[in-house]
Amino acid sequence: MKKLVTIFVSLLVFGAIQATAQQKMPTVSIGSNTHDFGLINEEAGPVSHEFVITNTGAAPLIIHRVTATCGCTTPVWTKEPIVPGGKGSVKVTFDPKGRPGPFHKTITVYTNAESATTIFAVKGEVKEREKTKDEIYRRQIGSVLFLNNHLSLGRVFTNKIVTDTMRLYNPGETPAKLGFFNVPKHITVTANPQTLKPQQEGIIVIKYDASKNEDWGFVIDRFYLTINDQTIQNNFLSISGNLEEDFSNLTEKDIDNAPKIVFSQPSYDFGTVKQGATVEYEFVFKNEGKSDLIIRKIKASCGCTTVQPNVSVLKPGESSFVKASFRTNGYTGRQSKSITVITNDPKASTMVLRLTGTVTTEG
């Protein structure tokens, strides 16, 4: 019985000690842990908010450190111990420069309180400042600035004419008369206006007639600019597009009677070869459709060459092959080379063949 009483008394004493220890811990008390800056202007510069912390515990509160989720948010905090009943603060500054749109940033405060971390957050939305012309037009050619000197037309059907524009700006103090040379026959280029006044914006109208370009798949063209009848050396404008046949008007009957290209093996793993070896493989295919299969184009990726099939038109039921040759000089490690085959098969007008394997310098 005495043993039980001793244990009970010990527990009471231990509990009292624990309670006393807890009573002597600092306690973090805050109002709102989130501040909304609302809509702020980027050009107005950094904005700040001060979160107030009250120590409602019985021991001094120490803020060990404060971390933010990104460098755009800078915290400054009370470094001295905060006495019981006293107040401290964490001042948070957010820099909106280069950060348009909504934001939500968190700040973690580490203290010696029983709850060792406290999370604050600031949020709002940054209204982007109006950019200067020099910031908008970043690509300089001669005395004029372009938004971009490359225009991507994306998907271009070979029976269509596509029109698009390139934007430019004359930042100088004198007029800039625009001209063009080495323009491909399937591209028509017009400047509007032809002569840019000082600080004037303009456009270059590109008219791309794919029916005049005897090519298929991804293509890129370049032409050159003159300013005030002077040739601008080593600078050019480029146009790219992916030329495809338009099958959108085909009926179900047309598709049923169309050609169909089928490869017996569209990929080949050559295993492991020593650097310097030449890997060769023949990708065999057959026209399993009901009309003539036309091989429009065969294009290999870097490091791989191909030999065109001995015929470019295959009757229904006929077979042929694409011979691939990969020279491994200068290559090591895992390799993957592709060959793109473009045909008039409406369901598989573009097919990609692959040569894969490992090139080693050993053995």
CATH fold for domain 252-360: Immunoglobulin-like (2.60.40)
pLDDT at 83: 94
Token pair of 51, please? 């979160």
* Cis peptide leading into residue 193 (ω within 30°): yes
CB proximity list for 324: less than 8 A, separation 6 or greater: 268, 279, 280, 281, 282, 283, 300, 304, 305, 306, 337, 339, 353, 355
Mean pLDDT of the chain: 90
CB atoms inside a 10 Å sphere around CB 111: 23
Q: How far is CA 238 from the centre of its chain?
A: 21
CB proximity list for 68: less than 8 A, separation 6 or greater: 74, 75, 92, 105, 106, 107, 108
Token pair of 59, please? 């021991």
pLDDT at 98: 87
Token pair of 293, please? 């299969």
Taking the C-alpha atoms of residue 50 and residue 53, their distance in angstroms, rounded to an integer, is 10
Collapse the DSSP code of 275 into the 3-class scheme (helix H, G, I; strand E, B; otherwise coil) and give the result.
Answer: coil
pLDDT at 19 over 50: no
pLDDT at 9 over 60: no
Mean pLDDT of 59-65: 94
Q: 3.40.47.10, 2.40.160.20, 3.30.9.10, 2.60.40.10: which CATH number matches 24-127?
A: 2.60.40.10
C-beta separation of 349 from 264 below 8 A: no
CB atoms inside a 10 Å sphere around CB 192: 11
**How do residues 321-341 score in pLDDT, each as one tens digit?**
999 999 998 899 999 999 999
Under CATH, which architecture does the 133-244 domain have?
Answer: Sandwich (2.60)
* Distance between start and end Cα atoms, the chain: 85
What is the amino acid identity at position 261? I
What is the helix (H) or strand (E) element at residue 8, kind and residue range?
helix 2-23
pLDDT at 363: 63
Collapse the DSSP code of 179 into the 3-class scheme (helix H, G, I; strand E, B; otherwise coil) and give the result.
Answer: strand
Mean pLDDT of 188-213: 96
The sign of the dihedral angle between the CA atoms of 140, 144, 148, 149 is negative
C-beta separation of 276 from 329 below 8 A: yes
CB proximity list for 338: less than 8 A, separation 6 or greater: 300, 301, 304, 352, 353, 354, 355
Taking the C-alpha atoms of residue 341 and residue 321, their distance in angstroms, rounded to an integer, is 11
Look-up: residue for tokens 């994306």?
A: 154
pLDDT at 5: 42
CB proximity list for 4: less than 8 A, separation 6 or greater: none
C-beta separation of 268 from 281 below 8 A: yes
Q: Which of 216, 214, 207, 223 is nearest to 162 (CA)?
A: 207
DSSP classification of residue 128: P
Tell me the sheet residues that pair with 357. Answer: 335
Mean pLDDT of 50-54: 94
pTM value surpassing 0.85: no
pLDDT at 11 over 70: no
What is the helix (H) or strand (E) element at residue 252, kind and residue range?
helix 252-256
C-beta separation of 96 from 46 below 8 A: yes
Mean pLDDT of 115-132: 91
CB proximity list for 361: less than 8 A, separation 6 or greater: 274, 275, 332
Q: How far is CA 306 from the centre of its chain?
A: 32
**How do residues 244-269 score in pLDDT, each as one tens digit?**
999 999 999 999 999 999 999 999 99
Every domain of the chain with CATH number 2.60.40.10 lies at: 24-127, 133-244, 252-360
Q: Which of 89, 19, 23 is nearest to 57 (CA)?
A: 23
